[in-house]
Amino acid sequence: MQDSQSLQCPGCGATVTTKLENCEYCGSRIPWPKEEAKIQEIIKPVPIIIEQPRIEYKKTSGAAVASLVLALFGVAPLAIIFGIVGISAISKPENNASGRGMAVAGIIISSIQILVWIIILVSISCTAASVGYNAY
């Protein structure tokens, strides 16, 4: 029986208990295990667990969505109000909100709609005024 401190000689079969390189009986080389192999048996690799950083997703501002939807449906004054409220909410970091582009788009589309309505109303009133003067 072999323990960790003794080996059998491969040449003569005698039990060698000291860390000699050669058998003291027949002179054969003794294949002692290397210390690194013993250390590798004792120290087994431990799996490394790397925790991934937590990703926090931003929620989309409801006011920004409402601004864009109202602008697309032609309700310009409400779309501008909701757009301003949405941008205000998005600019506060504690709200953790996104959607600034939708709020800006709602404001721009609504502003263009109001400008078009003003141009239409001015041209209608100018046309009505000129028609009224030609009738006399």
Confidence at 1, pLDDT banded by 50, 70, 90: very low
Helix, strand or coil, per DSSP, at residue 6? coil
Q: How far apart are CA 87 and CA 94, in angstroms?
A: 14
Q: 62: closest CA among 95, 43, 86, 42?
A: 86
Let me know how long the chain is.
136
Confidence at 3, pLDDT banded by 50, 70, 90: very low
Backbone angles phi, psi at 98, to 5 degrees: -125, 180
Cα→Cα distances 133→123, 125, 127, 128, Å = 15, 12, 10, 9
Helix, strand or coil, per DSSP, at residue 60? strand
Which pLDDT value is given to residue 33?
A: 66
- Given a contact cutoff of 8 angstroms between Cβ atoms, the answer to whether 8 and 2 are in contact is yes
- pLDDT for 42-100, tens place per residue? 666 777 788 888 887 888 999 999 999 999 999 999 999 999 999 999 999 888 899 99
Q: How far apart are CA 89 and CA 86, in angstroms?
A: 5
Helix, strand or coil, per DSSP, at residue 29? strand
